[in-house]
Amino acid sequence: MYFSELNLNPNLLRGIKDRGYTELTAVQQKTLDITLQGGDVAVQSQTGTGKTAAFLITLFERMLKEGPSAQKKALVIVPTRELAVQIEGEARLLNRHLGFRIGNFFGGVGYAAQIAAIKKGVDIIIGTPGRLLDFSERGDLRLKEVGSLVIDEADRLFDMGFLPDIRKLIRRLPDRSYRQSMLFSATLNRVSRRIADEHLDSPNFIEVTPEQLTVDTITQELYQVKSHIKLNLLLGILQRQEPRNALIFTNMRHVAFRLAKKLQINGFRCQHLTGDLPQAARLRVINDFTAGKFPVLVATDVAARGLHIDGLEMVINYDLPQDRENYVHRIGRTARAGNFGKAISLASEGTAEHLDAIESFIGMKIPVQAVSTDLFATDKSLEYESGERKRRTWRQKPGSTGGH
């Protein structure tokens, strides 16, 4: 189905066309069938399925139909600053011909600019729970004026401990029968379903079946390799395939840090993204990677949640994820918006045990690639680290001054 077939406001359709959207994804079609009629939904939707556009189109169309005199505000609750910024960017693109006021509210920055935005007036409120609650308790945000609610990446919000804040925010909203509510989650687990049942009005549950979980335009490859030579294989793959950009996943943040350093020593412009980075540093790394200032980013699942990069060519699972659903989240960051992409996984003795669960979940066997000696590359970081150890030993010798 095409967006042009939907009975949407012509100016909204202009924004959709400008954005380059033509055909609806499965999640978009299933969601909009219900939400454009005013219904509530709880949607299982992983990264890259187009769910952001689905709820933004719903919000814009609802406000356009209400008109200025009866128009209610929309509230979008997200787990991270990075996701808030990305949704704001998408909203502004779709809003090009509409004129709605969009505000973004998150912690880690001063209050002044955000308070100024509230005073000017805001139609769509996007933000993280803590800062939204702050503004509501101070009386800056009047949540009784909200007519539409979106809870995005609900499972991530709950994992990060935001459930109490979300409950407080919802209590400040009009009753569920007087607002339209949408919940999106990578998995509709027990907590997500309970929140939907408690706070949405007779929600329609939309689930993506396992057959739909991986995109046909992603080429998946699996390499089986011993852990002590896994880096050599990774180097060989990067040198041979020369991806324009690549997102490499590890399971542990200390591994992400060390791997990024080793890739740098081997000549790759590379940074790491982990959950313990300060907010300003995290945002700088994401912005620089998105802008193409460096081609390789090493990240953990927690740090990369909500990270969307248009035109990402390759995802590499340096470690197979422990959670089978994270495999889908990871590889779904490539092949977005109809593009093609590649997902490469390295199975070593440390993580190969997760492979059966992953393949069962996605409903297919990941094609195994032959591993020959010419695929491996020399790791220059070993020589560098050996030299560093020698220099440290020399500096620590009695009588050594360590330099001039």
Q: Are residues 130 and 221 located together in one domain of the fold?
A: no
Q: Are residues 25 and 123 located together in one domain of the fold?
A: yes
Closest CA to 253 of 229, 277, 227, 279: 277
Q: Are residues 160 and 299 located together in one domain of the fold?
A: no
Which residue is associated with the tokens 């590379």? 270
- 307 has pLDDT over 90: no
Q: Is residue 400 part of a domain?
A: no
> Mean pLDDT, to the nearest integer, of 369-381?
92
- 390 has pLDDT over 70: no
Closest CA to 50 of 210, 236, 208, 224: 208
Q: Is residue 398 part of a domain?
A: no
314: Cβ contacts below 8 Å, ≥ 6 apart: 241, 243, 245, 246, 247, 334, 341, 342, 343, 344
Q: Is residue 394 part of a domain?
A: no
> Mean pLDDT, to the nearest integer, of 247-271?
95
Q: In this predicted structure, what is the pLDDT of residue 363? A: 81
Helix or strand run (H / E) with residue 59: helix 51-70
- 50 has pLDDT over 90: no
Q: In this predicted structure, what is the pLDDT of residue 286? A: 86
Provide the pLDDT confidence category of residue 338 given band limits of 50, 70 and 90. Answer: low
Q: Are residues 224 and 116 located together in one domain of the fold?
A: no
Q: Are residues 268 and 146 located together in one domain of the fold?
A: no
Q: In this predicted structure, what is the pLDDT of residue 404? A: 41
Question: Domain boundary residue among 208, 225, 241?
Answer: 208
User: What is d(CA 340, CA 246) in angstroms, rounded to the nearest whole number?
Assistant: 13
Q: Is residue 397 part of a domain?
A: no
Q: Is residue 396 part of a domain?
A: no
pTM over 0.85: no
> Between 22 and 151, whose confidence is greater?
151
Q: Are residues 224 and 340 located together in one domain of the fold?
A: yes
Question: Domain boundary residue among 161, 187, 208?
Answer: 208
Q: Give the tens place of pLDDT for each residue, 91-108.
A: 999 999 999 999 999 988
Q: In this predicted structure, what is the pLDDT of residue 362? A: 83
> Mean pLDDT, to the nearest integer, of 274-294?
85
Q: Are residues 58 and 182 located together in one domain of the fold?
A: yes
Q: Give the tens place of pLDDT for each residue, 201-255.
A: 999 999 866 555 666 788 999 999 999 999 999 999 999 999 999 999 999 999 9
Q: In this predicted structure, what is the pLDDT of residue 368? A: 94
Q: In this predicted structure, what is the pLDDT of residue 156? A: 83
User: What is d(CA 329, CA 36) in angstroms, rounded to the nearest whole number?
Assistant: 27
- 398 has pLDDT over 80: no
Provide the pLDDT confidence category of residue 55 given band limits of 50, 70 and 90. Answer: very high
> Between 296 and 83, whose confidence is greater?
296
CB 72 within 8 A of CB 63: yes
Provide the CATH number for the domain around residue 123. 3.40.50.300
Q: What is the mean pLDDT of the chain?
A: 88
Q: Is residue 241 part of a domain?
A: yes
Question: Domain boundary residue among 208, 240, 259?
Answer: 208
Provide the pLDDT confidence category of residue 403 given band limits of 50, 70 and 90. Answer: very low
Angle at 196 between CA 195 and CA 200, to 5 degrees: 120
Q: Are residues 234 and 199 located together in one domain of the fold?
A: no
- 113 has pLDDT over 70: yes
Q: 263 is in which domain, residue-wise?
A: 212-388
Q: Are residues 162 and 282 located together in one domain of the fold?
A: no
Q: Are residues 108 and 251 located together in one domain of the fold?
A: no
CB 307 within 8 A of CB 153: no
Q: In this predicted structure, what is the pLDDT of residue 350? A: 76
When divided into structural domains, the chain yields a total of 2
Q: Is residue 271 part of a domain?
A: yes
Q: Are residues 56 and 133 located together in one domain of the fold?
A: yes
Q: Are residues 192 and 275 located together in one domain of the fold?
A: no
> Mean pLDDT, to the nearest integer, of 361-371?
89
Q: In this predicted structure, what is the pLDDT of residue 397? A: 57
Q: Is residue 175 part of a domain?
A: yes
